[in-house]
Structure 1
Amino acid sequence: MIDDFGPAPYDDFDDAEEKVRPGPLWRHAVWVVAVTAAGVALGWASGRFRLGPEEYGLPSAAPGPLLPYLAAWTAIGLVAAAVLRAAAARVPVHAPETVAVGVVWLGTRLSLGWRPEPPLLALLAAVALAASAGWGLMALRPGSGWRSGRRRA
């Protein structure tokens, strides 16, 4: 039952966590760059090693250059974070920074751990961009429950 006297007793979400993030363009750009840098840095730090002993045939890191993969995931991360921030500037999106950092971190980690060929890297990029676009589209869809800043019960 919906009443206008307050939230339902089972409604335990935090309004401060999900909010519209309007603001000047420079603030959005700084957010996108910071989130991407955090994801790439975490992916680089965790991609420098593999878990498992050397006697099982898992080297500490895959051989090959790091810079092309870091540059690729920086570009992919900038696009993914920009998509999420654009959605968050219009409607409340749940944890866009966590999604952006997670997608970029996972992609960077996988790429540095195994050094995939360009077609597989493109597939990983498509999956990362689809995940961030899907997360933003879930908040933007008409039946998402947000109308004029209030959540429908």
Structure 2
Amino acid sequence: MSNLFTFDDVSGDGVPEETRRQGPLWRHALWVAGIAGGAVAAGWIAAAFRLGPAEYGIPSAAPGSPWGLLAWCLGAGLVACAALRGTAARIPVYAPGRVGFVLVFLGTRLALGFRPPAQLLAAGAVAAVAVALAWCVVAAVTHRTHGPDRT
């Protein structure tokens, strides 16, 4: 009988979840652009509709042009994903793609739903980058504590 908390690698790439992500610079740049761009697109699509009544949850996209908000979210997402991927290229980081995607998706969805002023939008972007950097610091401390030969 298998352990309830053991998961098989279903990604199909054969790379364990917590390994160094090595490769040429173009591959890292493509990864960063893909994760950030996909998360912004998913957040924009999610803002187009609401599943429940207006009293519950995040409102759907507010009227007006979304391009400025999407540019802010993409810029912050690129910085956050670049920090995660740059750290993952040097030390093992757990799920850098999922963390980057969730941060950028939630930021985009919140920005499109509430249309915050520029100061709050900048604070949200700084918070997303800070969370990504904190995730990298946790990975670095764990790597240093347990050693590079950790499995």
TM-score class normalised by the smaller sequence: 0.7 to 0.9
SS in 1 for 2:131: helix
Structure 1: gaps spanning 5 or more residues: 1-11
- Whole-Å separation in 2 of the counterparts to 1:126 and 1:78: 12
- TM superposition shift of 1:144: 4.7
- TM superposition shift of 1:61: 3.1
- TM superposition shift of 1:151: 1.5
What's 2:150 paired with? 151
The yes-or-no answer on 1:118 pairing with 2:118 is yes
- TM superposition shift of 1:59: 6.7
- Whole-Å separation in 1 of the counterparts to 2:126 and 2:86: 19
Would you say the 8 A contact 1:138–1:144 is kept in 2? no
SS in 1 for 2:33: helix
What's 1:69 paired with? 69
SS in 2 for 1:122: helix
Look at both structures and tell me which one has the larger radius of gyration over its CA atoms. 1
- TM superposition shift of 1:111: 0.3
Would you say the 8 A contact 1:50–1:61 is kept in 2? no
Number of equivalences: 139
Q: What is the identity, as a one-letter code, of the residue corresponding to 1:71?
A: A
What's 1:140 paired with? 140
- TM superposition shift of 1:17: 0.8
What's 2:84 paired with? 84
RMSD: 2.4
**Using a 3 Å threshold, how does the CA distance of structure 1 residues 68 and 145 change in structure 2: closer, same or farther?**
same
- Whole-Å separation in 2 of the counterparts to 1:63 and 1:128: 24
What's 1:9 paired with? none
- TM superposition shift of 1:147: 2.0
1:103-139 per-residue CA deviation (whole Å, 9 max, x = no partner) reads 0000000000111100110111111011100001111
Would you say the 8 A contact 1:50–1:113 is kept in 2? no
Q: Percent identity?
A: 47
The yes-or-no answer on 1:45 pairing with 2:45 is yes
Q: TM-score, normalised by structure 2?
A: 0.82
Would you say the 8 A contact 1:62–1:113 is kept in 2? yes
